[in-house]
Structure 1
Amino acid sequence: MASFPSNFALEHSMASAQNSHSPASSPSFMTRVAMRISRSRWFTFLRRVFHYQNGPRSDLGSNPFNSSTWMMLELIALLVQITSTTFTLAISKSEKPIWPMRVWIAGYDIGCVLNLLLLCGRYHQLHVTQGNNALTLSELEQQRNNEESSVYRSSHLIDKCRSSLELFFAIWFVMGNVWAFDSRFGSFPQAPKLQVLCIILLSWNAICYSFPFLLFLLLCCCVPLMSTLLGYNMSMGSSARGASEDQISQLPSWRYKGVHTNLDLGNDSQSSERLINEDPECCICLAKYKDKEEVRQLPCSHLFHLKCVDQWLRIISCCPLCKQGLQR
């Protein structure tokens, strides 16, 4: 995926916000939404899927579709399809479609049942592999001669069955489209329940088949566009390098009163005045400190505008100048 100059875009957006004196509620809200999206589990999973499908062979990592969460979602989807198709076939015995719509739905139901058995085999194989990985080296040497051939045979058989089922569903999808949407053989008046179920199943399969294209549009078109407009690199933010709200709130902050006056810091007013004299402007937005503006000090003693540095720390938890990280 293409990388974007997030730091420059962030500085540019902050500088424009400071100079125009416009309310920052709208862009800050959109940025917070983008941060939450980029750090959510589903967005991280989609990036893993895209990397696994399009990354180099030497850096594929683990298959995200073998995770327990994804297998549970597959199980729920298969059970819903099997239940709906079986129930519809049972209550629509009196319907007589022109084309063998009932045969198509019955074949789809059988394919879902076979896919459910295949999912159980994948789950069992995954647990066998994890159990072997938990064994010691000596135990692995003892079991290698007995189990290695059977494990590889079962894995090869599961892959072949999965490819055959995918081919079957692809051919069945084309046949269902021909039977359901051909105007010369309309079956809705004679078989409304079967026709509606067929359209729902075809729509679901169309979404599943277009998933790689939709994923490409999301990660290669929509996400870079949002990153450019908001000045926040969502791909970088999804790696969870930002600081939490508790860490940011614990950093000292106060209102700036001027260069030659004392600051609201109690006994540390002299050191704070020296910091203002050394850093007369915020290096993030490149704007000078003004009276009654909120400023925040990092553990490295560098000073910034509160809004600027808070937004920076939510993206990367380090100082913009010296790159010193916050204490975890």
Structure 2
Amino acid sequence: MEAAAASPVTPLRLWLVGYALQCLVHVGLVCSDSRRRPAHARSSDVESADGDAAGAGTDSSDSDDDDDEGREQRSSFAKRCESINTMVSFLWWIIGFYWVVSGGDVLEHDAPRLYWLSVVFLAFDVFFAVFCVAMACFIGIALCCCLPCVIAILYALAGQEGASDADIGFLPRYRYSDPSEDGQKGTDEGVMIPVLNNSGTSTSERILLHEDAECCICLSSYEDGAELSALPCNHHFHWTCITKWLRMHATCPLCKYNILKGSESA
């Protein structure tokens, strides 16, 4: 290190050569790994096709096992080389950082291009490491925060099943009558008068308290003469409101009763 402090240009050139060699080694490992995977996939397809067509013999199975072992050994060797190259790159970065700092003004004055080239390479490694850590943190935070919402939305969309107009047409329909509108003061009850539905059937009248005479979809009170509909769960709504709702969701807005399945949704 004393030689580096006395003549910092030569060690820095050596560091740049080592940095370039490490990059070449890394590129070579990546290329070999990308070539090995498609070749392994093609050989696996050929072996499976041959086995299905003619059956696997003893000699062929032994040779296949040997090939698999050879590929596994090469793969493990490549992984070890990649790990060693990563550790060496980290140590080499520390050495280069020390040489740049120890050279300081001498390098910047005697060999400015060499100095700034080394600084750029060192800064690129730092930026790449910080970028990878930031991306990992961002992805982790996004998964923790957004994944439950995404799952809930997908679950809601998957469970969203609308009813057809034919299914809606079988629901009982009513016309709401408010006695207070006819001058009968003091009454607290309204009447749901049956109206023939699409199937030609009707049900009996229903007495409805004024406090319950409200559609929970539009949050409006029933007016005299309003057209209503009731679901099998006995909850009632404006006919237009529940029709629009059931076309998107075949469940009761209050109790989640499914008019298609005849049960409450989970």
Partners of 1:178 and 1:257 lie apart in 2 by: 86
Residues 126-275 of structure 1 aligned to structure 2 (within 5 Å) = 126-134=41-49, 135-136=51-52, 138-141=54-57, 143-177=60-94, 179-180=96-97, 183-185=101-103, 189-191=112-114, 192-205=116-129, 207-208=131-132, 216-219=140-143, 221-223=144-146, 227=148, 232=149, 234=151, 237=154, 242=158, 251-252=164-165, 260=192, 267-268=198-199
Partners of 2:29 and 2:78 lie apart in 1 by: 9
Q: CA RMSD in A?
A: 5.1
> What does residue 246 of structure 2 align with?
296
Q: Does 1:278 align with 2:194?
A: no
C-alpha change, 1:262 and 1:175, in structure 2 (3 Å) is farther
Moved more, 157-166 or 95-104: 95-104
Q: Aligned letter for 1:152?
A: E
1:155-181 alpha-carbon deviations (Å, 9 max, x no partner): 222122212212311331343255248
Partners of 1:271 and 1:235 lie apart in 2 by: 39
What is the Cα deviation at residue 296 of structure 1?
A: 0.7
1:264-319 alpha-carbon deviations (Å, 9 max, x no partner): x97258589997253344xxxxxx745752321589xx5434xx98xxxxxxxx96
Assess if the C-alpha contact under 8 Å between 1:176 and 1:198 holds in 2: yes
C-alpha change, 1:196 and 1:150, in structure 2 (3 Å) is same
What is the Cα deviation at residue 262 of structure 1?
A: 8.0
Q: Aligned letter for 1:279?
A: C
C-alpha change, 1:113 and 1:179, in structure 2 (3 Å) is same
Assess if the C-alpha contact under 8 Å between 2:29 and 2:78 holds in 1: no
Assess if the C-alpha contact under 8 Å between 1:180 and 1:198 holds in 2: yes
Moved more, 133-142 or 269-278: 269-278
What is the Cα deviation at residue 117 of structure 1?
A: 1.5
Which of the pair has more CA radius of gyration?
A: 2
1:112 counterpart (4, 23, 27): 27
1:128-161 alpha-carbon deviations (Å, 9 max, x no partner): 2233234318533352122211221222221222
C-alpha change, 1:290 and 1:145, in structure 2 (3 Å) is same
Assess if the C-alpha contact under 8 Å between 2:93 and 2:122 holds in 1: yes
- Give the structure-2-normalised TM-score: 0.51
Partners of 1:233 and 1:262 lie apart in 2 by: 44
Question: Percent identity of the aligned residues?
Answer: 9
Q: Aligned letter for 1:278?
A: P
- Give the structure-1-normalised TM-score: 0.43
Q: Aligned letter for 1:242?
A: A
Partners of 1:122 and 1:233 lie apart in 2 by: 33
More strand by share: 2
Assess if the C-alpha contact under 8 Å between 2:22 and 2:85 holds in 1: no
Partners of 1:261 and 1:178 lie apart in 2 by: 91
Stretches of structure 1 lacking an aligned partner (at least 5 in a row): 1-94, 282-287, 310-317
Partners of 1:210 and 1:164 lie apart in 2 by: 27
